[in-house]
Structure 1
């Protein structure tokens, strides 16, 4: 297997773009090579098979979705409150909107995981790790609400994002409407100080 880490990352980023544009059925080594602008056969030198490509793409998507620590530190400057939670959730939504391809690729990977136990295992591991880190951060930072609050907020925000990316005109077709919807979700789930 080839060992150039920058090339591997570029191939995984190309895989994300292919998944977002064409879905899991369109994800082939040839499509990844074309999207990455590399010679045909390059991606097959980096990934043993399609399952390996899917699993490593799942890890890369998650890496791209992790917030910048400096941005989080800046957002966390105010005292913990429900208003701060709303700011954090608005930031989450803005990051996902900016990372549209990554979010759509993750949706495709989740659907594909219903048919591929190995991918489901990888997604469970990766997403669970991120969820646990977010939960630990929430509890350690003194933000309002407990573990159940975070679980319900996670589910609500996941649903909000799926709705926004798949049927944006349904509930929130403008950034202002999306911000207002995030505010409503947080106000209904997160307890007042």
Structure 2
């Protein structure tokens, strides 16, 4: 297998786009090569199987969905109250929605993981790490609410993002804004 890390990353990013656009059945080495604009056969030189490609995509999506250090630093600034909590949740919805192909690819991977145990293990580990990191960040932040509040918002906002990406005409921008505000308020028991 080839080991050029930048080429591998570019192929995985191309696979994310293919997966989001064409679904799991459309994720072939040939489709990845075409999306990455590389010679036919390149992806098969980097990945031993489609299973390996799926698991690599599962890890890479989260690398790209995570907030950068500047966002994390801003999240620790200012008064840590309900308004701040809502502001952070708006940032999450906006950031994840902005990488719509990644989130749609992740949904495809979640479905595919019901048939691929190795992929399920990768996604379970990665999503568990994400949830644990969110719980730890919240505990250290001084934001209101408890771990259950964090989990309720995680679940509610994930489905709101699904609605925005798959059926964008269901809720307009004002409704999305209002729903995030209410989700934060109600998860805090207000």
**Is TM > 0.5 for Structure 1 vs Structure 2?**
yes
The equivalent position to 1:179 in structure 2, one of 174, 177, 180, is: 177
Q: How many residues align?
A: 190
Aligned-partner Cα distance in 1 for 2:7–2:131? 29
TM-score by length of 1: 0.94
8 Å CA contact retained: 1:144, 1:191:
no
Match for residue 129 of structure 1?
129
Match for residue 11 of structure 1?
11
Match for residue 37 of structure 2?
37
Please say which of residues 50-59 and 183-192 is displaced more in the overlay: 183-192
3-state SS in 2 of match to 1:84:
helix
Aligned-partner Cα distance in 1 for 2:182–2:36? 41
Structure 1 unmatched runs, 5+: none
8 Å CA contact retained: 1:75, 1:87:
no
Matches within 5 A, 1:49-64: 49-64=49-64
The equivalent position to 1:188 in structure 2, one of 168, 186, 189, is: 186
Matches within 5 A, 1:1-193: 1-170=1-170, 172-173=171-172, 175-191=173-189
Aligned-partner Cα distance in 2 for 1:72–1:91? 11
3-state SS in 1 of match to 2:169:
helix
Segments ≥4 residues shifted beyond 2 Å? none
TM-score by length of 2: 0.96
Aligned-partner Cα distance in 1 for 2:139–2:189? 14
Structure 2 unmatched runs, 5+: none
